[in-house]
Amino acid sequence: MIRPLIAGNWKMNAAGADGRALAEGVGAGAAEVASACDLLVCPPAVVLAAVADVLAGSAVAVGGQDCHEASSGAHTGDLAAAMLAEAGASFVIVGHSERRADHGESDGLVQAKAAAAHGAGLNAIICIGETEAQRDAGETLGVLSGQIAGSIPEGAAAANTVIAYEPVWAIGTGRTPTVDEVAAAHAHIREQIETKIAEAGEARLLYGGSVNPKNARELLAVDNVNGALVGGASLEAASFLEIARQAAS
């Protein structure tokens, strides 16, 4: 039995006082679900240290939303994985489809970022997923294979690597794949990571894309779904905790 992880990706929302208040809300409800699932919030970088302070001593881990592939240097506006760790992060998301799209991030770059995360002692959440055009063309599993082959670094192990399957067309749209489609994707991912991640059978595979308190139970019950990466519904403590409750029950 793999312990589920419910991760909140706040994206470019909830900084400053809003971020601290959201963290307080999540922290206040965490004890109730923490015996059965792990909780993580990934706030904007400017509030990461403050959120980590709020959540210190709670069951909620804190993560970054991205890191640079280098450990330091002339990279204006970027953050090294070790800086996130120093600010209180134990995880970092890499290769989110919004970064792949907005910043042209390739599989090779995502792989380098994940390696940097590991080098800083962070757990890397590597995101993969097909576009709607790719799904319509019947390319989903092939796209996932390519992203897995290209984005997972040497040295990845179940203890330091999480894979998040996020169909691009399901993110922020209120649309989700059917449970059969999620099951097929996750079974394929489990098989494909066998040679890329040590102890691959133990690695956590998250589903992400329009997860909410209404659909979480069904999605989290799918074989090889070991938690969720939640965007919009993580911006309210009550809905995030409700998703976690469903993972825990």
Instruction: Please report whether residue 125 would count as binding ligand PGA according to CB under 6 A.
Output: no
State in angstroms the smallest separation of the CB of 171 from ligand PGA.
4
State in angstroms the smallest separation of the CB of 183 from ligand PGA.
19
Return the residues of window 130-189 that contact ligand PGA according to CB under 6 A.
166, 171-172
Respond yes or no: is residue 188 known to be catalytic.
Answer: no
C-beta of 52 vs 233, nearer to ligand PGA? 233
Instruction: Please report whether residue 16 would count as binding ligand PGA according to CB under 6 A.
Output: no
Contact range with ligand PGA by CB under 6 A, out of 57-65, 75-83, 144-152, 203-211: 203-211
Respond yes or no: is residue 166 known to be catalytic.
Answer: yes
Instruction: Please report whether residue 9 would count as binding ligand PGA according to CB under 6 A.
Output: yes
Instruction: Please report whether residue 51 would count as binding ligand PGA according to CB under 6 A.
Output: no
Instruction: Please report whether residue 63 would count as binding ligand PGA according to CB under 6 A.
Output: no
Secondary structure, 3-state, the chain: CCCCEEEEECCCCCCHHHHHHHHHHHHHHHHHHCCCCEEEEECCHHHHHHHHHHHCCCCEEEEECCCECCCCCCCCCCCEHHHHHHHCCCEEEECCHHHHHHCCCCHHHHHHHHHHHHHCCCEEEEEECCCHHHHHCCCHHHHHHHHHHHHCCCCCECCCEEEEECCHHHCCCCCCCCHHHHHHHHHHHHHHHHHCCECHHHCEEEEECCCCCCCHHHHHCCCCCCEEEECHHHCCHHHHHHHHHHHHC
Closest CB to ligand PGA: residue number = 231
Among 151, 160, 161, 210, indicate the residue that binds ligand PGA (CB under 6 A).
Answer: 210
List of residues 6+ apart from 99 with CB closer than 8 A: 66, 105
User: Backbone phi, then psi, for 126, in 5-degree steps?
Assistant: -95, 120
C-beta of 205 vs 229, nearer to ligand PGA? 229
C-beta of 109 vs 211, nearer to ligand PGA? 211
- Tell which residue, 124, 166, 120, 171, has the closest CA to residue 144: 166
x/- track of binding to ligand PGA for residues 228-247 (CB under 6 A): -xxxxx--------------
> Contact, 176 vs 215, CB < 8 A?
yes
Of 166, 186, 188, 242, the catalytic one is 166
Residue indicated by tokens 């659909």:
215
Contact range with ligand PGA by CB under 6 A, out of 69-77, 84-92, 189-197, 223-231: 223-231
State in angstroms the smallest separation of the CB of 209 from ligand PGA.
5
C-beta of 4 vs 208, nearer to ligand PGA? 208
Catalytic residues: 96, 166
* Chain residues in the site for ligand PGA (CB under 6 A): 9, 166, 171-172, 208-211, 229-233
